[in-house]
A and B are shown apart, each in its own frame.
Chain A
Amino acid sequence: MIELNSLTKRFGSPSTGILAVDGVTLKVDKGEVLGFLGPNGAGKSTTMKMVTGFLTPTSGSASVCGHDVVKAPIAVKERIGYLPEGAPAYPDMTPESFLSFCAQVRKMGDRAEARIAHVVERVQLSGVLRQPIETLSKGFKRRVGLAQAILHDPEVLILDEPTDGLDPNQKHEVRALIREMAGKKAIVLSTHILEEVEAVCTRAIIIARGRVIADGTPAQLAARSRVHNAVTIAVRGADKDQMVGELKRITGVRDVDHARQDNGLCRATAIAKHGHTIAGEVSALVKARGWGLEELRVEHGRLDEVFRDITQSK
């Protein structure tokens, strides 16, 4: 539903300007929830602004539901629901008048009233419908922005940092809403909260210095982590150095980290070689030596570590 082809945006002159987005090519299908990750200034927002038709690409192309964003901007904008960064809305208006303005611009006609009632219930805005938006809390302002984005039941949803600055309960609500809508739409959301990607996204893309540097399911990305499949154990009745030595002898183990002993409890983390699972061997070893097992935990890898590794390299 969304197709980007060598999409490039340069700010300023060709020689001294900043290359904000550098040849991004990707495709998002219906049913996907794509998490757009990257450090600040990586080009996430700029890419989204080009897809939504706000900024004009310097080169390359973007299309939404088969319509080119430069040649048919109105057709694209009709099919997109967009929550810009910070959820801007007219401060003097009330959520009610603001949503009805959006419905008029989108030529919703008779459908407007029912749809507004629907989205108001969906994002729980009914209590503040007649208050000026400038008097609302951050959480409510974000909900107004979300309501505006889903008002016309768009095929494509683009959300720029939808949960930024919200409290944990509000984050949970927004994520639940996104999960509910997934499946029927193509959803792209940018974030730098990695737990969010694991919570709602079916696919994650990491972007740095304007380029896509990783693309896969959150689990695939996490599997790039050094600690993917690592096993942490805590046992009684063992000697630390002996335990480390025995762990290192297991074929799938690459290294042993964080070994320490206190009050008779030995702890260590065995790092697996790429593509190996070692939980079975480690637990067999514990049993064979007759150690008293207090804890055994398999790590799945941590996105934040992968993120740091690949965005800081070079």
Chain B
Amino acid sequence: MQGWYPIFKRELAGYFVTPVAYIFIVIFLLLAGVFTFQLGRLFERGQADLRPFFDFLPWLYLFLIPAVSMRLWAEERRGGTIELLLTLPVSQWGAVLGKFLAAWAFTGLALVLTFPLWITVNYLGDPDNGVIVGSYIGGLLMAGGFLAIGSCVSAATKSQVIAFVISLMICLGFLLAGFSPVLDFFKGWAPSWLIEAVSSFSFLSRFDGLGKGVVTLRDLVFFGSLIGVFLYGAGIVIEMKKAE
């Protein structure tokens, strides 16, 4: 893991020297507001909780997280800086992890900035704050999962557009794994254990549990290993694609 911390710091600062960070945060908060108040009818529901926000969060992430992750490695490869980075005394895993953690911290910051929603429901009523904390943790885990997928895809291409589109497709697959569009694809030819395995990968069903405020060890293990597998994959792809 040598060298991850300076890379983490550089990457995180990098979001803020360009308008990327500000645009992302503003759009994220704007959409979160629109979804929660307009589409989710937070006020009209008459219930003091953040269900409307967390119901939309996966769909918001589906589009915004690939936009953050697409540049992680594609930009390094296009600019040739990957050669510079990987000939500094850092381990490859240090570089993969440093970049991933910076992106995760950045999306985490954007998530934390939705705190006015939390203040609003606490002002209006008496919500179960345990549930809300659980949901926030769930949101953070899901962001991590999407970012790990995006890291791996970004490592495979020089084109950020391709990275964005492919990450989005894979993330959508994971999101809907427990639902008919994906399961229908497997039904009829795949054995039932495979269908069950696929549906257990569903982010949406898992996030539903997290939305009830229950963070189980199984969820942590699921997202932890998902992140681990995709970051490991990113490392392998970087090694394979270096020569190009």
Contact = CB atoms under 8 A, between A and B. Distances in A.
Contact of B243 (A55, A86, A90): A55
A92 B18 contact: yes
B121 interface: no
A244 B216 CA distance: 98
B80 interface: yes
Given A92-B17, A106-B88, A74 B9 contact: no
20 contacts: A52-B87, A53-B86, A54-B86, A54-B242, A55-B243, A74-B91, A78-B89, A82-B84, A88-B84, A90-B14, A90-B81, A92-B17, A93-B10, A93-B14, A93-B17, A102-B88, A104-B6, A105-B3, A105-B7, A105-B90
B82 to A, nearest CB: 8
B5 to A, nearest CB: 8
B79 interface: yes
Contacts of A49: 83
Nearest to B18: A92
Contacts of B84: 82, 84, 88-89, 148
Contacts of A102: 88
B14 A74 contact: no
Interface residues of B, number: 24
Interface string B203-244: 000000000000000000000000000000000000100110
Contacts of A80: 87
Task: Describe B's contact surface by its main secondary structure.
Answer: helix
B14 A92 contact: yes
A216 interface: no
Given A55-B243, A74-B89, A105-B90, A88 B80 contact: yes
B81 A77 contact: no
Interface in B28-69: none
A49 B242 CA distance: 10
Contacts of B89: 74, 77-78, 105-107
A86 B84 CA distance: 11
Interface in B67-97: 79-81, 83-84, 86-91
A58 to B, nearest CB: 11
Nearest to B83: A84
B83 A54 contact: yes
B129 interface: no
Contacts of A84: 80, 83-84, 87
Interface string A28-71: 00000000000000000000010011111000000000000000
